[in-house]
Structures are given as structure tokens and as C-alpha cells.
């Protein structure tokens, strides 16, 4: 039995409600942690539609809401923390030069950039951060981000549906995709645990040095 067959058997054992939740969560995480290939998971959800495991509406709604919430989450982070915070820290996936470039794009194209954000997979998270830093209007950003997400997810779900109806042709490729995705998730969880442990150890040592 292949890795993907095992993975599908696992999915078959889960209730549909949980599957929709996991798809939405994956779409959310993809926005907050850019290395995670959330669009691939959106397509995979549509593949489950093609195999009649899930409904089109359920997959479309869960992934669209997950993507929108992820975008708006980073938008609020940008609003709350401000420009100086990100420029000074220059995070790996939110580089200062990328944020500055996104600010320049906003000056040129304004809200139109929000409308197209889903079509820039490599920088969409930076766009949401920069949008918050630029103090754009929340309602307008939410509406345009929703439109962008609806169109983009529809494309991916149609693609995923075609995969579901041509399973034998793409089985090997999907196996590699899902293995890579799950590996990325495990690495991310491992790093989060490691960071948590290191922080706890440092706090404990600081308390011992300064009783």
C-alpha cells in the first residue's frame, strides 16, 4: 500500500465535519506560515470532491474562509505591531525589503493589490502585513480579500476535482505532494515544540540567576 493510499484510508476514518475543519485550518496556516503549501491542500480537498468523499460547497466554503481568516489575521498583526517592528527584526519570511517593496506597490496600486493578492503566492503574506501597516480600511480590505480568495480557490478546486476524476494518472504525483506536505507540518510542529522548550529553559535559568 502506497503512502497516499494509507493517508486516504486515514481520511476515510474521519468524519466529514473534521475533514472540512482540517482543510480550513490548512488554508489558514498557509497564509500565516508561507512555507506551508496550503493551495496544494485546497486542491487535495477538491480531489476528495472528485472521488465523492466530500461536497464541492463544503470544500469551497471551508478553504475560502480559512484563507480569508489567515489573510486578515496577518493584516491585524501588521496593524497592531506596526512598520518599525517588522523592519527592525527582518524576519526570514517577512523580510524588511519585501515589506518596503509591498508598501511601494500599495502607493502605486492601492487596494487593487489586495484584490490580486491570492495570485502572488510567494508574497501574499507580506502583502497582508504591509496592508495592515499601511492602515488600510478594514471593511474594504476584507471584501477585496474575499473576492480574491473566492476566485483563486475556485481555480484550485476545479483543478483538484479534475485530479479526482483522473486518479490513476496522477496518483504517484499526489503521493509525493502529500508526503512533502505532512513532512513540512511535522517539521513545523517540531520547531514550535523546540522553541517552546528553549524559552522555558531560558526563563528558568533567568529566575535562578535573579531570585
**Measured distance CA(69)–CA(92) in Å, rounded:** 22
Confidence band, pLDDT 50/70/90 cuts, at residue 68: very high
pLDDT exceeds 70 at position 142: yes
Q: Is 82 left (phi over 0), alpha (psi -120 to 50) or beta?
A: left
Confidence band, pLDDT 50/70/90 cuts, at residue 186: low
Higher pLDDT, 92 or 86: 86
Residue 111 CB partners (closer than 8 Å, separation 6+): 136, 140, 141, 144
Phi, psi for 55 (deg, rounded to 5): -95, 150
**pLDDT given for residue 169 in this prediction:** 55
Mean pLDDT of the chain: 76
In contact, 28 and 73? CB cutoff 8 Å:
yes
Q: Residue-wise over 53-71: b if at least 16 C-beta within 10 A, else e?
A: bbeeebbbebbbbbbbbbb
DSSP structural state of residue 90:
-
Amino acid at each position: 500500500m502506497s503512502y497516499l493510499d494509507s493517508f486516504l484510508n486515514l481520511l476515510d476514518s474521519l468524519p466529514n465535519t473534521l475533514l472540512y475543519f482540517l482543510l480550513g485550518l490548512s488554508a489558514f496556516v498557509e497564509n500565516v506560515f508561507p512555507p506551508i503549501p496550503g493551495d496544494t491542500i485546497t486542491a487535495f480537498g477538491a480531489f476528495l470532491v472528485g472521488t465523492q468523499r466530500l461536497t464541492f460547497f463544503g470544500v469551497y466554503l471551508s478553504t475560502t474562509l480559512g484563507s480569508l481568516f489567515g489573510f486578515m489575521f496577518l493584516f491585524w498583526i501588521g496593524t497592531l505591531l506596526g512598520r518599525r517592528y517588522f523592519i527592525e527584526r527582518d524576519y526570514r519570511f517577512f523580510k524588511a525589503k519585501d515589506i518596503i517593496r509591498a508598501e511601494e506597490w500599495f502607493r502605486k496600486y492601492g487596494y487593487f493589490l489586495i484584490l490580486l493578492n491570492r495570485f502572488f503566492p510567494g508574497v501574499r503574506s507580506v502583502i497582508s502585513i504591509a496592508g495592515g501597516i499601511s492602515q488600510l480600511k478594514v471593511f474594504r480590505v476584507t471584501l477585496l480579500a474575499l473576492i480574491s480568495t473566492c476566485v483563486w480557490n475556485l481555480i484550485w478546486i476545479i483543478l483538484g476535482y479534475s485530479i479526482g476524476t483522473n486518479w490513476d494518472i496522477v496518483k504517484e504525483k499526489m503521493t509525493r505532494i502529500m508526503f512533502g506536505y505532512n513532512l513540512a507540518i511535522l517539521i513545523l510542529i517540531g520547531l514550535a515544540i523546540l522553541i517552546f522548550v528553549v524559552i522555558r529553559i531560558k526563563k528558568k535559568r533567568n529566575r535562578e540567576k535573579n531570585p
